Amino acid sequence: MLVYKFGGTSVGSVVNMNHVKEIINTEGKRIVVLSAMSGTTNALVDISSLIEANKAQEAKEHIKQLNATYKKTVYDLIQDKDLHDVVVQYVNSIFSDLLEAVDQSYSESLHNTILANGELLSTFMFSRLLEQEGLKVALLPALEFMRIDRANEPDNFYIKQNLERLMQEANEADIYITQGFICLDADGAITNLQRGGSDYTATIIGAAIEAEEVQIWTDIDGFHNNDPRYVNDTQALSHLSYDEAAELAYFGAKILHPQTVMPMRALDIPLRLKNTMDPDAHGTLITNKIHGEGIKAIAAKDNITAIKIKSVRMLLAHGFLKKVFEIFEKYETSIDMITTSEIAVSLTIDNITHLKAIVEELEKFAKVDIDDYMSIICLVGNHIIYHPDTPELFQVLQDVNVRMIAYGGSDNNISLLVNTSDKLETLQKLQRYVFEDGTVSVLKN
């Protein structure tokens, strides 16, 4: 069985929904995971923020505007009168609930409930579109099988048992539609898998049913060798290993949620990235198999803060790093990069929620310097740190102000910390040197 996931752009218009309909109209049973229509989640976040700010009238105006958008979409999407009436009734009930939410006391639970409506709307409308086309379709509510535990990890046993139950109850269907992103927490309250979580939903489902393949469909034809938002003439990568894909996803490649690869790698289930607007393109196939050597791709991660921790007491002292790491663990703040010298540690974080408290504790035993507006440039490829010609790469960097280098922490990743103001120039230089003019051609994949 195949699992398909389509992002917000892929279901962002009537035209695109019909493209998706054609893509999934294949033989055999399949599961289709949908995001909210593009723009909807942002609109719902705005509505939630207005409710939190006690701006009830503005929130109601935003709800009415979003409702008008969906009324037009339903009018253009569903021509069958009976089905049209069913969809209109459902959409009206969603927006009626949103209007009622305006008068409720704001809470995180209310926020999550508001956000869940985007996926509920897209999947209901799309399932009725397929029904209109005479396809055998069943809507599987994600809130009846997708759950995370108290560590915010997928409750795999619960998911597998309940997903199988729902599929058996709807056994006559050929196509199962469900929501990405949304789920229940360990207490049964509505929550979500955070931004990009629809990818994660698809691979969790893929692992639960031991799918033949999971396909993530977006508006770009797979991983590129550099960020096409900043660099011209990038090329799609036909194959990546799971290790390479995980590095790229974590360090800034927006096409894939960082956690997506985790459920798939252990079961060796292929993950394919495809372009909804160009379905015949090969895309990127991600497996445990290694293809080629050298640098395959470059990605960048913004909003990085660098922290330098300096103390003469660190010299020849054991336990210093333990004290540092315990502080970050206490405040549940992950570290991206780290380098050390005899008397200093430099590290980076991408979550500054608890930065003030962290610095206060570090300053009890060390001098602390903070640099913000930084970016991590990540170069990824199979075993690149062992490639005999990799050192030539550093000739490229002689004109770049590099704040930190992480080399050797991963066999497949070299990370560079630069000022965000230098990111664009750095990406473009690396693109020219690594992939275009042959200066380090031995590193080409």
Q: What is the CATH number of the domain that holds 103?
A: 3.40.1160.10
Q: Is residue 254 part of a domain?
A: no
pLDDT of res. 254? 73
pLDDT of res. 24? 96
If asked whether residues 209 and 74 sit together in one domain, one would say yes
If asked whether residues 63 and 178 sit together in one domain, one would say yes
Whether pLDDT at 197 is above 90? no
If asked whether residues 197 and 302 sit together in one domain, one would say no
pLDDT of res. 382? 82
* Residue 1 to residues 29, 57, 62, 242, Cα–Cα distance (Å): 6, 47, 40, 21
Find the DSSP H helices in 105-147.
108-132
How would residue 435 be classed by pLDDT, with cut points 50, 70 and 90? confident
User: Token digits for 387?
Assistant: 């490639």
- Evaluate whether 59 touches 102 at the Cβ level (below 8 Å): yes
pLDDT of res. 291? 85
pTM: 0.88
Q: Is residue 433 part of a domain?
A: yes
Q: Is residue 191 part of a domain?
A: yes
Q: Is residue 310 part of a domain?
A: yes
Q: Is residue 229 part of a domain?
A: no
How far is C-alpha 374 from the chain's CA centre? Answer: 21
Between these two residues, 39 and 401, which has the higher pLDDT value?
Answer: 39
pLDDT of res. 319? 77
Q: Final residue of a domain: which of 184, 219, 254?
A: 219
**Could you report the per-residue pLDDT of 155-171, keeping only the tens digit for each?**
999 999 999 999 999 99
H or E stretch including 285? Answer: strand 284-287
Whether pLDDT at 441 is above 60? no
pLDDT of res. 391? 67
If asked whether residues 321 and 208 sit together in one domain, one would say no
**Could you report the per-residue pLDDT of 284-300, keeping only the tens digit for each?**
999 999 887 778 999 99
If asked whether residues 190 and 71 sit together in one domain, one would say yes
* Residue 62 to residues 65, 97, 208, Cα–Cα distance (Å): 5, 14, 38
If asked whether residues 313 and 189 sit together in one domain, one would say no
Strand, coil or helix: 304: strand
Whether pLDDT at 443 is above 60? no
Q: Is residue 284 part of a domain?
A: no
Q: Final residue of a domain: which of 197, 219, 241?
A: 219
If asked whether residues 185 and 312 sit together in one domain, one would say no
User: Token digits for 162?
Assistant: 């309940």
**Could you report the per-residue pLDDT of 356-401, keeping only the tens digit for each?**
999 999 999 899 999 999 999 998 988 787 766 666 677 767 777 8
Neighbouring residues of 86: CB distance < 8 A, sequence distance ≥ 6: 128
Neighbouring residues of 126: CB distance < 8 A, sequence distance ≥ 6: 11, 17, 20, 21, 32, 34, 177
Q: Please report, for the domain that includes residue 347, its CATH number.
A: 3.30.2130.10
Task: Count structural domains, the chain.
Answer: 2
Whether pLDDT at 247 is above 90? no
Average pLDDT over every residue of 180-202: 92
- Residue whose token pair is 């372009």: 275
Q: Is residue 276 part of a domain?
A: no
pLDDT of res. 383? 77
- Mean of pLDDT over the chain: 91
Which domain, by its residues, includes 79? 2-219
User: Token digits for 191?
Assistant: 């929550």
pLDDT of res. 442? 38
Q: Final residue of a domain: which of 219, 242, 277?
A: 219
**Could you report the per-residue pLDDT of 82-136, keeping only the tens digit for each?**
999 999 999 999 999 999 999 999 999 999 999 999 999 999 999 999 999 999 9
Cα 296 to Cα 316: distance, rounded to the nearest angstrom: 39
Please return the burial class of 122, using the count of CB atoms within 10 Å of its CB with bins 0-12, 13-18 and 19+: buried
If asked whether residues 56 and 183 sit together in one domain, one would say yes
Q: Is residue 286 part of a domain?
A: no
Lowest mean pLDDT among 36-40, 164-168, 426-430: 426-430
Provide the terminal-to-terminal Cα distance of the chain, rounded to the nearest Å: 32
pLDDT of res. 388? 67
